[in-house]
Amino acid sequence: STGAVKMQPKAEELKFVTKNDGYVHIHPSSVNYQTRHFESPYLVYHEKVKTSRVFIRDCSMVSVYPLVLLGGGQVHVQPLGGDFVISLDDGWIRFVAASHQVAELVKELRCELDQLLQDKIRNPSMDLCECPRGSRIIGMIVKLVTTQ
């Protein structure tokens, strides 16, 4: 039998959306330029330039949990049609959680991490791995990210 097979986009056709610039493309000089498929639809980048169109360079794919835990802005959880949505950056980035409990646990873990980092800034000599609270938070994040 025969049928249509979905083709991966060509490198120059692959595009992403940013909040402020709309569509952006990976710059041809980027290591990821020839990558035609990313497991996660989210990239972080270091540099953005505009020539014939807007390009990003020095980019890396990022999966959901690192984005939620380490991304900027506040984390919100809201019900939406029977699902529970975790949102960042005033709703610009949204994820559907497996359950309300998972959504609230992720939000709480983010709050604990933010507090831990503030404590570390106030007390730079604090060893996060020796501190019982810090080691539990870091251990949970490592487990969550590595088992995602």
Structural domain that includes position 107: 65-146
Q: Based on the domain organization, do 50 and 113 belong to the same domain?
A: no
Whether residue 2 lies inside any domain: the answer is no
Q: Kindly report, residue by residue over 78-87, the tens digit of the pLDDT.
A: 998 888 999 9
Q: Is 5 exposed, middle or buried (0-12, 13-18, 19+ CB in 10 A)?
A: exposed
- Give pLDDT, residue 73: 82
Whether residue 3 lies inside any domain: the answer is no
pLDDT band of residue 145 (cuts 50, 70, 90) is confident
Of 62, 82, 97, the one marking the end of a domain is: 62
Q: Based on the domain organization, do 89 and 49 belong to the same domain?
A: no
Quote the CA–CA distance of 99 and 79 in Å, as a whole number: 10
Q: Kindly report, residue by residue over 116-125, the tens digit of the pLDDT.
A: 999 999 999 9
Whether residue 86 lies inside any domain: the answer is yes
- Give pLDDT, residue 109: 94
Domain count, the chain: 2
The per-residue b/e assignment along 6-19, b for 16 or more CB within 10 angstroms, e otherwise, is eeeeeeeebebeee
